[in-house]
Structures are given as C-alpha cells and as structure tokens.
Amino acid sequence: MSLAANPTTRYLAVAPVVRGGFLVLGAFALGLGTWSSLAGLSGAVIAPAVVVPEGKRKTIQHSTLGIVDAIFVVEGERVQAGQPLLKLDDVPARASHESLRSQYLAAVAREGRLLAEMRRLSTIPDRPNAEPEIQAFLEQEQRFFDSRRKAREGEETILHHRIRQLQEEISGNTKLLKAARREYTLTEEEKAGVQSLAAEGYAPRVKLLQYDRSLARIEGEIGSRQGDIAKAQQKISETENEITQIDKRLNEDVTNSLREVQIQLQDLRPRLAAAQHSLEQILVVSPISGHVLDLAVSTVGGVVEPGKPLMDIVPVESTAIIEAQVQPQNIDEISAGQKGIVHMTGRPGGGTLPMQATVTMVSADRLTDQRTGVPYYAIKMQIDPGETDKILPTHLIPGMTMEVVLPIRKRTLLEYLVDPLRNRMRKAMRER
C-alpha cells in the first residue's frame, strides 16, 4: 500500500514539519514580544523653523498719511542709527506748519503789545531768546501800539486842555466874584451914610434909589459869576469822567483782547507742536543700527498709510537664534535645556551638516499661525558655540528656513502599540 493511498500514513509523515513550523513561529513571536517589551526605540520631534534675530526688531511706521518722495535703502542694507531711510513729500506738512507758525508768532507779538498797553509802557519790551521770525510781527505790533498810544494821548491831551481852560475860567470868575462882593460891601456902606443924611434932610432920597439899583446889579453879577463857576466845575467833572472812561475802555479792550489772544495761543501751541512733529517725520530715519528687513515701500509716489509697517530694522548686534513651531501633541516631550539638532533646508544640492542646539524657551501657551490657522507652540533654540563653523562660508541670516530635530525619551515597540489603546480605554472609562 502506497503512502498516497493511506491518509494516516501521510499525516504522520507531515506532522513533524508542521510542529517544527509552529515552534519556529512561536519562537519568533516570543522573541518579537520580548524585544518589543524590552528594547527601547529612539524617537524625535521634527518641526519647521526659521532664523530670527535675538534682539527685538524695530518696525518702522508713520503716523500720518503721506506720499513717498525718495527711498534711500534697499532690502538687507545695513544702516546706522539716525541714517535716513526714506523721505515723504513735505509740501502739505510744511505749508500747514508755516501757516500755524505765522499765526502763533503773530499771536505772541500781539500778546506782547497788549501787555505793554496794560502796563502803560511806551514801547513793547524785547523778548529774550525770541525766534528771529517774530521780529517782523513785533515791528508791526509796535507801529499799531504807537498809533493807539498817540490817539489815546491826543484825546486825553484835548480833554486835559479843556480842564485847564475851565480852571482858568473859574479862576477869572472867582476874581470877578471877589471884586463884586467887595463892590457890594462898599456900596452898602455908602448907602448907609447917604441914608443917615437923607433922614436929616441933607440928601435927596433919589440918591438912595441909585444905591439900591447898584446893589441889585452887583447881586446879579455875583449870582452870574457863581453860576459860571458852578458850570465850569461841572464841566471839569464831566471831562475828568471822560478821561476815566477812556482809561476804562482801554483796560476793558486790552483785557478782553488779551484773554482772546491767550486762548488762541493755548489752541495754537499743541497744533504747532503736532505740525512740527509731522514735519520732522517727513524724513524717516533709523532708530537703531541694523539691517533693513521686510521693506514694504518700493515706489516713489506711493501712498504711506498711517500705522502701516514700512520696514523692519534688525539690530546689528543681535545673535541669530532658531524659532520653531511644534505641534501641540508633542509639546509635553520638550523642555528648556533640551538638546537638539538643526540644519538648513531648501538649499540647492541638499542641506548642510547638522548643528547642535539647545532649547532656551518654550512658549507658555498655544499660539495660532495667522496665515494658516494651525495651532502650535513656539520654541527658541540657541546654536551651541562653534557649531556655526560647519556651515561656513554661509552665515545665519534672519529669515533662513531650518528644520529642528528634538530627540525624546525612548519607548519600546509595545508601548508605541499599547499607549494609544490605553489612552482610549482611559478616556472611555471616564465617559458617562
């Protein structure tokens, strides 16, 4: 009987081979399980990065709307602190500044003239440390001051002359009044003598009537002189009141005008300062020494919008550092002081030798890329001393793209396989 015709015989012949196969598979599985549970596998977090300056870059902006008149720098150019970067059209700003300055100087000169009038000075005092441009306004105000002073003095002179005339008139009438009173006294005495003679019949009574007429005339003259003196005194009082009113009107006019000009100066000072600031900003200069980066202005005649970045100045003394974006699920594996490897990417012919670097900062909260909307954690790394020699003659320049490799703790293959399942089970057990 052949082996093919007998199944039992065929099974007995194949069984050792099968058992051997199972033993091999079992041994492989046991070895694989032991290796996966004991052998550690190295892991790493890979993140895109870019070279940034360690120092704070200065963003150049302009506070007002303007038109570009000249551009003095190009992208990447090194500039010194105070060096002109670009110039805006200064015609509107200069016209506004000159108009406000003329108004301000005119108001200052007018204030000086009003103060001189208030203090009854004969001329406007010189202003120490005054701007040369104010001299023309002061001369104009001095002419106006002289004209007003002469007009006031002329009016007061006429009134004072009138008072002197009235005083002379009073003096004359007073003398005439005194003479009339003396004449009246003498006439009365003569009448008394004639009256005694007439009583004895030695003098006619007609003579007494003549004395009475003389006394009546003299009394009228005395009354007339007294009236003239009273009228003159009244006119003197009225004239003195006119002089007082002239001074009062002048004081009121000067006080009101001085208040107005001081209010005008309070309004003009901040406006002039703002116009001066705008004029000074026509020439945009670099606040620090550094390199021009992200130059946004390239056309003469272009419009500069308020608050929009014109360019950045990267400090020349800044040390280049690496800034990477790490996915949120990997951030728990990274901490300050951790070592890593960085190398440049995107270079023709491949990358460069890897450089050792150290994590110096991990962001305290999650950030969001404004361009892509992808969340990330920012980390900063410092190239270890001497490592940049590996990329010579190239130097690290802000804006270079890099790739960061950060080794993390070793885990076994079993942990890689079981951890996701364990996390799911832990989450499922917490759910209700």
The model's pLDDT over 349-405, given as tens digits with 9 standing for 90+, comes to 445 678 889 999 898 889 998 888 899 999 998 888 877 777 766 667 777 888 998
pLDDT value for 3: 46
Tokens, residue 361: 């900062």
Beta-carbon contacts of residue 242 (< 8 Å; ≥ 6 apart)? 159
pLDDT recorded at residue 242: 92
- 277 & 287 share domain: no
pLDDT higher than 70, residue 218: yes
Statement to judge: residues 188 and 268 lie in one domain:
yes
For the segment 311-350, what is each residue's pLDDT rounded down to a tens digit?
Answer: 988 886 667 788 899 999 888 888 888 899 888 886 654 4
**One domain, residues 301 and 366:** no
Q: Are residues 116 and 165 in the same domain?
A: yes
| CA–CA dist 150, 18 (Å, integer) | 138
pLDDT tens figures, 22-69? 666 766 666 655 655 554 455 678 889 888 776 667 889 888 888 999
Which of 3, 15, 7, 44 lies closest to 330 in space, CA to CA? 44
Mean pLDDT for 141-161 is 91
Q: Tokens standing for 377?
A: 């954690």
Q: For the chain, what percent of residues have pLDDT higher than 90?
A: 29
Clarify whether residues 271 and 287 are in a common domain: no
Number of domains the chain contains = 3
User: Are the C-beta atoms of residues 320 and 394 closer than 8 Å to each other?
Assistant: no
pLDDT of residue 347: 63
Q: Answer with the residue of higher pLDDT: 236 or 431.
A: 236
Higher pLDDT, 360 or 419: 360
Q: What percent of the chain has pLDDT over 70?
A: 80
Q: What's at 27, amino acid-wise?
A: A
Residues 129 and 240 in one domain: yes
- Domain holding 151, by residue range, is 93-281
Mean pLDDT of 86-115: 92
105-119, 155-169, 418-432: least confidently modelled range: 418-432
- Strand 283-285 relative to strand 78-79, pairing: unpaired
Q: Read off the pLDDT of residues 155-206 as tens digits, 9 standing for 90 and up.
A: 989 999 999 999 999 999 899 989 989 988 988 888 887 787 777 777 777 7
* Residues 394-410 as b or e (16 or more Cβ within 10 Å = b): eebebebebbbebeeee
Asked if residue 290 lies in contact with residue 314, where contact means CB atoms within 8 angstroms, the answer is yes
Tokens standing for residue 155:
């009016």
> Is the separation of the CB atoms in 341 and 45 below 8 Å?
no
Same domain as 77, residue 141:
no
More confident: 276 or 2: 276
**What is the identity of the amino acid at 246?**
I
DSSP classification of residue 388: G
The domain boundary residue, chosen from 314, 337, 362:
314
Whether pLDDT at 419 is above 60 = no
Please give the pLDDT value at position 429. Answer: 52
Average pLDDT rounded to a whole number, residues 143-155: 90
Q: Who has greater pLDDT, 273 or 397? A: 273
Pairing verdict, β 375-383 and 320-326: antiparallel
| b/e per residue 270-294 (b: at least 16 CB within 10 A) | eebeebeebbebbebbbebebbbbb
Q: What is the CATH number of the domain that holds 343?
A: 2.40.30.170
Q: Which of 256, 281, 306 is the last residue of a domain?
A: 281
Q: Which of 261, 291, 314 is the last residue of a domain?
A: 314
Q: What is the pLDDT of residues 5-21, one digit of tens each?
A: 555 565 555 566 666 66
What's the pLDDT at 105? 93
Residue 184's domain is classified under what CATH number?
1.10.287
* Whether residues 225 and 369 fall in one domain: no
More confident residue, 430 or 365: 365
Q: What is the pLDDT of residue 1?
A: 45
Tell me what pLDDT residue 143 has. 93
pLDDT at position 94 over 80: yes
Token pair for 137: 């306004």
Q: CA-to-CA distance for 69 and 40, rounded, in angstroms? A: 66
Say what the pLDDT of residue 289 is. 86
What's the confidence (pLDDT) of residue 39?
A: 47
